[in-house]
Amino acid sequence: MNKIAIITTHPIQYYAPWFRSLAQEKDFLIKVFYLWDFGITQQVDQGFKQSIQWDIPLLSGYNYEFVPNQSLNPGTHHFWGFQNPSLVSVVESFQPHSVLLMCYNYASIYNFIWRWDTRKVPLIFRGDSHRILPRTGIKEWMRRQFISLVYSQFSAVLYVGKANYNYYTYHGVSPKNLFFSPHAVDNNRFFSQSQEAMKQAKLWKQELKIPEDHAVILFAGKFESKKRPLDLLQAFIQSNLPKVSLLFVGSGSLENELRLQAKNHSSIYFAPFQNQSQMPRTYAIADLVVLPSYGAWETWGLVINEAMCLSRAVIASNHVGCAQDLIHSNQNGLVFPAGNISALANCLQKAFLDFEKLKRWGEESRNIITNYSYIQATQGLRSAINHLKI
């Protein structure tokens, strides 16, 4: 029996189903230690700029504990958002054989790493950072040395994709200590709801007053600068596609600007933030899903996973962490240079040259995403644990 303590910031809709899956493994005994209760209580999301509470179960099917957080301003948006002085003692009381950390760049986690006796109980790390955008200069050199020191504390590291693998080797992690544990969503939830989602999407399309004979390009997420929804809006206008509508689903700081720029264009629509139970329908309304993010912040882009589960063609910028792994050019979608609006417009035009091809792209998305599931994620964790025993 592998007794594993898992430390993560708060209940996350992508991780909770994986923890349930891990709890069902006969050779695993897990306990998840949460540093904050966001997601299960009504709280303001900094990106969506509104109060939210996820409407799918995030705490059922596995053992967990909330570690008291003394931060006056709790959250993932700053270093001091997690101050959990009892973290070491509560994890020690579980008496784990190994500890899996899902993050590190917070006060509590640094305190845990430096205080934990890794000779007795090894640490495993799983993250999704990348260095798709190279950095130079003395500050980058110093940052690289420090991050390399942090990773030297881990006996095994799980990487979620190609860009993430390169990030770890850049910071000195030996390939022999790296194990593939892909980023995944609850594929089975999306697969099982796909037919019903299609029926709901037809009705929703009518409610939104999108013409029935129009194809739909979807942006779903936070309306914030790093996601670059304005790039997509401008590219859509530039592409001048007949019988194609653009749908923005979500909320955020750029909403007023998006609506202002869209007001003279009849084929651009908006829908409010959709909770987790409505996400299958959200993707089902689309023929193409676009993630045009710019910068180093889109470490993976799980919206692409979800869209692919609903057999949707996808387009993403080359700054999106998953682009190298999930988007096979001209097979299930396209990748464009981040920030290049003309290139994105060309991709939109190319995608809608042939609707049958677009449908085939969606079918291929479904095939590709089957290899990015909790099954593969668990295999990676098991390989890492077996490596620790050697």
Condensed to tens digits (0 to 9), the pLDDT of residues 238-264 reads 999 999 999 999 999 999 999 999 999
Q: Is 81 exposed, middle or buried (0-12, 13-18, 19+ CB in 10 A)?
A: buried
Q: Mean pLDDT over all residues of the chain?
A: 95
Q: Is 132 helix (H, G, I), strand (E, B) or coil?
A: coil
Residue 293 contacts residue 301 (beta carbons within 8 Å):
yes
Helix (H, G, I), strand (E, B) or coil at 246: strand
Q: Residue 316 is encoded by which pair of tokens?
A: 């993403």
Instruction: Please tell me the predicted confidence (pLDDT) of residue 39.
Output: 76
**Residue 164, CA atoms < 13 Å, CB-side half-sphere:** 26
What is the average per-residue pLDDT within 116-137?
A: 95
Q: Residue type for 107, please?
A: A
Sheet arrangement for strand 28-34: 64-66, 28-34, 2-8, 98-101, 123-126, 156-159, 178-180
Q: What fold characterizes domain 187-369? A: Rossmann fold (3.40.50)
**Cβ contacts of residue 150 below 8 Å, gap of 6+?**
104, 113
* 87-98 pLDDT, tens digit each: 999 999 999 999
Euclidean distance between CA atoms 34 and 36, whole angstroms:
6
Q: What are phi and psi of 360, to 5 degrees?
A: -65, -40
- Give 4-39 pLDDT, tens digit per residue: 999 999 999 999 999 999 999 999 999 999 999 987
Q: Does residue 45 carry a pLDDT above 90? A: no
Q: How far apart are CA 243 and CA 267, in angstroms?
A: 8
3-state class of 289 per DSSP? Answer: strand
pLDDT (mean) for 336-365: 97
For the chain, give every residue range classified as CATH 3.40.50.2000: 2-185+372-389, 187-369
Give the pLDDT of residue 70: 95
Sort 42 into a burial class: Cβ within 10 Å, 0-12 / 13-18 / 19+.
exposed
Contact 72, 29 (CB under 8 A): no
The predicted-structure confidence for 278-299, as pLDDT tens digits, reads as follows: 999 999 999 999 999 999 999 9
Residue 121 corresponds to which amino acid?
V
Measured distance CA(320)–CA(130) in Å, rounded = 9
Mean pLDDT of all residues in 355-383: 97
3-state SS, residue 213: coil
Question: What is the value of pTM for the model shown?
Answer: 0.94
CATH topology of domain 2-185+372-389: Rossmann fold (3.40.50)
Confidence bin at 214 (pLDDT 50/70/90): very high
Q: Are 102 and 15 in contact (CB under 8 A)?
A: yes
Which of 87-91, 273-277, 342-346 shows the lowest mean pLDDT across its residues?
273-277
DSSP sequence for 112-123: HHHHS-TTTS-E
Return the DSSP state at 155.
Answer: S
